[in-house]
Amino acid sequence: MAGTKNNHNEQGSDQNQNTKLPFEDADETMCDADVADDITSADYYFDSYSHFGNKKTFIFEASLIEMLKDVVRTKSYRDVIYKNKFLVKDKIVLDVGAGTGILSLFCAKAGAAHVYAVECSQMADTAKEIVKSNGFSDVITVLKGKIEEIELPVPKVDVIISEWMGYFLVYENMLDTVLYARNKWLVDGGIVLPDKASLYLTAIEDAHYKEDKVEFWNDVYGFDMSCIKRRAITEPLVDTVDGNQIVTDSKLLKTMDISKMASEDASFTSPFKLVAKRNDHIHALVAYFDVSFTMCHKMIGFSTGPKSRATHWKQTVLYLDDVLTVCEGEMITGSMTIAPNKKNPRDVDIKLSYSLNGQHCKISRTQLYKMR
């Protein structure tokens, strides 16, 4: 399954150790026998983290704690609001995908006139309790439902805030929902927090992991199980990458301006040129993203890159069929196409084309990946 963590970097920070991603064990988590047959995949997504009483409580709690304890994520949002109170003070704020309501609480404490916290899952009921326990029931209204289906008590809002980003930026993300809310409710001149997100690409040496987890299938106690290897190669891995593994520079693939973009802009093809910074072997390309809040008095943002402090988003590793032998200064050229899967828009289809015309390696290849 795309995104499964396999302790790829045993030297990573504590917050990335021994924790499961929310969609591990998905067959059980999303397919409990007592769930009605007519519930859609989107319904499973919205409710998969919100059941305190069932046998998957530990998965929910682990993912919730992981997000809230993600210091980079949570403190960045807090700093944006507390250090730039003018953004929300006396404003009507819409929190899209509110979860526990932590962003709504930040806004209320910073002086927002009112906050509408919209959460589709059962977590909305818990968020109401949290809001009440902290004395903000008169400022924060928690609304349970999908943004596309609810009606707000007000015609327009001044600010939309959301932690919409998914793994690989666009996997199982809420971008479309944020854009829908922006188009329907944001007042002219209103702001979206965050308003910029950029996706980057680099390349790494990763011989040990690839040999242990991918090439292993070529000979399993004398039997050929390489069909599993093909599956492993085509499903990107979400994990923490050691910065020392990076062989090339990083290149920007796409910057999304959330305040202006259209939904279809999330599907794109971007060319890239990666320049080797040392003589080495390349086993995978790695994608990560940066987020910016440009409306602040002094811009605030954070990176999920391998050389930055670790976040729960980690990085996304795309293993190559080939091992690329590169010399310092040589260039890998190519393009990456990213689009939602046609059957399930929360999945992501990736087409990677790359070429190397080096001293020791000449190759041109196209690979297809799916995050699901």
Q: Which residues are catalytic?
A: 163, 172
Helices 71-82, 102-109: crossing angle, 10 deg rounding = 20
The letter for the amino acid at 366 is: T
Q: Give 50: exposed, middle or buried? Use CB within 10 Å, 0-12, 13-18, 19+.
A: middle
Rounded to 5 degrees, φ, ψ at 24 are -70, 155
Q: Which residue has the tokens 């997000």?
A: 67
Instruction: In whole angstroms, give the CA distance from residue 288 to residue 240.
Output: 10
In the beta sheet, which residues pair with residue 167?
171
82 CB neighbour count, 10 Å cutoff? 14
Rounded to 5 degrees, φ, ψ at 87 are -65, -30
Q: Which residues make Cβ contacts (< 8 Å) with residue 278, sequence separation at least 6?
A: 247, 328
Distance of CA 114 to the CA centre of its chain: 28
Among 245, 223, 224, 167, residue whose Cα is nearest residue 199: 167
Query: In which element (H, E) is residue 239 found?
Result: strand 237-239
Look at the alpha carbons of 125, 127, 130, 131 in this order and tell me if their dihedral is positive or negative. Answer: negative
Instruction: In whole angstroms, give the CA distance from residue 328 to residue 276.
Output: 5
Q: Two tokens at 240? A: 């923490």
Quick one: DSSP state of residue 112?
B
Q: What angle do CA 144, 75, 153 make, to 5 degrees?
A: 25
In the beta sheet, which residues pair with residue 193?
161
**Count of CA atoms in the C-beta half-sphere (13 A) of 275:** 3
Helices 71-82, 57-68: crossing angle, 10 deg rounding = 50
